[in-house]
Amino acid sequence: MLRPDFAKCGGLVPAIAQDECTGEVLMLAYMNEEAWDKTLATGEVHYYSRSRQTLWHKGGTSGHVQKVRSIRLDCDADTILVLVEQIGGAACHTGRRSCFYREIAGDAERECSPMVFDPKEVYGK
């Protein structure tokens, strides 16, 4: 079966989550082999947190899980594209639809992704 080349990438492969219907890029995170295997086994996306050095189930705390609809690898097998159904509407831990919510146009900056939930209410602090 086709698999990412984890060895080539030092054990972590970038994984892009994209909305299956709209094509919107929701987030970028990383997968190790365990996250890859859990994602395939459960049908929900799992990632590896570089900052916490642990596996995490996307939406495990917030309920905003990512249901796998399709998984693609790039030509070098060193980047993963996961087409997802984003349950609950928010992919970002800030409570927004997309992690890419800040847009820069010339000298101006604006927020361009809606707030779906208040992270303080979901995660505390």
Give the start-to-end residue ranges of the domains of the chain: 13-117
The pLDDT of residue 36 is 98
Main-chain phi, psi angles of 97, to 5 degrees: -60, -45
Residue 120 contacts residue 114 (beta carbons within 8 Å)? no
Q: What is the pLDDT of residue 100?
A: 95
Is the Cα dihedral 112, 65, 16, 10 positive or negative?
A: positive
Q: Please tell me the predicted confidence (pLDDT) of residue 37.
A: 98
Q: Which residues of the chain have pLDDT under 70?
A: 125
Q: Is 23 left (phi over 0), alpha (psi -120 to 50) or beta?
A: left
Q: Are 12 and 34 in contact (CB under 8 A)?
A: no
Percent of the chain beyond pLDDT 90?
93
- Residue 124 pLDDT: 84
Alpha-carbon torsion (92, 23, 32, 68), positive or negative: positive
Domain 13-117 coded CATH 3.10.20.30? no
pLDDT reported for residue 1: 82
